[in-house]
Amino acid sequence: MLDQPDPRRGNPPPYPPPQAGEGKKVAGPPLDFQEHLARLEAAGLLTRIDRPINKDTELHPLVRWQFQGGLREEQRRAFLFTNVIDGEGRRYGTPVAIGALAASAQIYAIGMGRPVEQIGDAWMAAIANPISPTEVTSAPCQEVVVTADALRKPDGGLKLLPVPISTPGYDSAPYLTATLCITQDPETGIRNMGTYRGGLKAPDRLAVRMAARPGGAGGYLHWQKYRKLKKPMPIAIVVGAAPVVMFTGPQKLPIDCDEMAVAGGLAGAPIRVVKAATVDLAVPADAEFVIEGLIDPELLEPEGPFGESHGHVVVEGFNMSMQVTAITHKRAPVWTSILSEVTPSESSVMKRVAYEPRYLAYLRDTLAIKGVRRVALHEPLTNLRKVVFVQFAPGVPRTEIWRALQGAATLQADIGKYVIGVSEDIDPDNPDAVFWSLAYRANPAEDVHVIPYRSEGHGPKSGAPREESTLLIDATQKESYPPISLPKREYMERARAIWEELGLPALTPKQPWHGYSLGDWDAAWDTYAERAVAGQWEETGKETFDRRRGGLTPETPVKSVKDR
């Protein structure tokens, strides 16, 4: 089925990307996944691997090293594996892309067709101005249609797809990870698109996990309605659509929002859709693969273990059982997978670059809290949801700081277990600076507030279900302090130039890397410092000799007796 000559080795994609307008090429996001790969390669952000790679033991671990090996985010790349095999020696004719959606914010930005700094505004504009999809009657995603007996062959159906094992040594099966799962509300007809994992069970069966926790999956809410109706739930799992379509899956948009229309808003043009081959759903016409089927409304199937994004392997649990009714795909497709285990990962980058500006807009625009500079969701290991930093400008009233902390903790049910406010000189991406702020700017008796009755949220389910709580901490600067005890910026910059001139190891500075004022300073002390670097410190010594005082305890601040 899929052992076709590979046209992606230096040739254009088999289908030109669809464009808005009458045959005119317009700038904007790529509306075809293979066009996206071509743009990544042109930007030097795609690495081709042509040697044989075992999809079950080598593929994910190889790409995982760029997240676990100490590389900076801007050094990460998308990978395209063109010679994929498995442990039994089977060769798959379909290349596998991984890291191509969001290994870095820059890769995500190419998929959005705009600079990184414009991503947040683009999401807000698309949500406010959706563009409904347009339906077509034939589509690249249905050039090959596999149904009926072809799905059930011992070596057919899902077994022909180059689905990698994400966490070799722990995962129970190959898993679909870069998914766009389309379901429809049986009452309202509103479509939902979510990113849910799917574990291979048989050539024509998958086990699908949709989060059932508060703030979880829209598809799960649809399944609850089908369960009451005692009818199987139609589902279409899309793999390899245009990035702006795939990016909508992880977003937590209102349940009555048509996410395909939001994707159109991101694209600036309607997304082309086509009726699925065997279920009553519309799917992206230019997708690489679509796996169609029905989810049992009552019987759940053991699924897992699987390495999850909260940093633990989830053990076996009962989840949805999906009977596959069709697999459709392009004649020369590319399979795509994402890293979604311990963060940072492709999955967490995909959320972070969209969630952070959305939280900032909520606090700054919806709640009208002035002085909020940034919202940062902590990514390494904690996976964004548990720890949130809110950065404030100087002078924000304490009442507004607490209102912002509470707002950040309540926007989503599963985000904001710990919410920490910091001043704008503290970089939330530098944990040492955060700990420093907690150590010197937060009084636990006054600046810490615990709120009970929080959902357990995203995490391992090994123990009994339990409620959690929320911890709010105001670690902002509340009064003037002396400067940071590092050389002033101009001296550090001059020293760095010498460092680089000497060819010493590359530096990656983290704030604070130079001294700066925190309010408690006197102009006279600037004079003292200027004399010191000019070798004139004895002049200061003469002045201080004349200011000697008696009757004081050592370490008495000069400013406390200055005017006596």
Q: What is the 3-state secondary structure (H, E, C) of 223-269?
A: HHHHHHHCCCEEEEEEECCCHHHHCCCCCCCCCCCCHHHHHHHHHCC
33-337 CATH, one of 3.90.230.10, 2.30.110.10, 3.20.20.70, 3.40.50.10420:
2.30.110.10
Q: How far is residue 431's CA from residue 279's CA, in Å, rounded to a whole number?
A: 49
Show Cβ contacts of residue 540 under 8 Å, excluding neighbours closer than 6 positions. 527, 528, 531, 532
pLDDT of residue 180: 95
Cβ within 8 Å of residue 479, ≥6 positions away: 519
Can you give the pTM of this predicted structure? 0.84
Coil, strand or helix: which one is 500? Answer: helix
For the chain, what is the total number of helices (H) and then of strands (E)? 15, 26
Can you name the residues that pair with 419 across neighbouring β-strands?
A: 388, 472
Residue ranges in 4-142 assigned as alpha helix (H): 33-42, 59-68, 105-112, 119-128
Q: Tell me what pLDDT residue 25 has.
A: 42
For CATH 3.40.1670.10, the residue range(s) in the chain are: 367-474
Predicted local confidence at residue 485, as pLDDT: 85
Q: Quick one: pLDDT at residue 464?
A: 65
Q: Give the DSSP letter of residue 103.
A: S
**In tens digits, what is the pLDDT along the chain, a chain of 564 residues?**
444 333 333 333 333 333 333 333 446 999 999 999 999 999 999 999 999 999 999 999 999 999 888 888 999 999 999 999 998 889 999 999 999 999 999 999 999 999 999 999 999 999 999 999 999 999 999 999 999 999 999 999 999 999 999 888 888 889 999 999 999 999 999 999 999 989 999 999 999 998 776 666 788 999 999 999 999 999 999 999 999 999 998 887 877 889 999 999 999 999 999 999 999 999 999 999 999 999 999 999 999 887 776 767 878 889 889 999 999 999 999 999 998 888 888 888 888 998 999 999 999 999 999 999 999 999 888 888 899 999 999 999 999 999 999 999 999 888 999 999 999 999 999 999 999 999 999 999 999 999 998 877 666 666 666 788 999 999 999 998 888 888 899 999 999 999 999 998 888 888 888 989 888 888 999 999 999 999 999 999 999 999 998 889 998 988 888 654
pLDDT at residue 462, as a whole number: 62
Q: Which fold has domain 367-474?
A: UbiD C-terminal domain-like (3.40.1670)
pLDDT for the residue 11: 36
User: In the chain, where does the domain assigned CATH 2.30.110.10 lie?
Assistant: 33-337
Predicted local confidence at residue 253, as pLDDT:
80
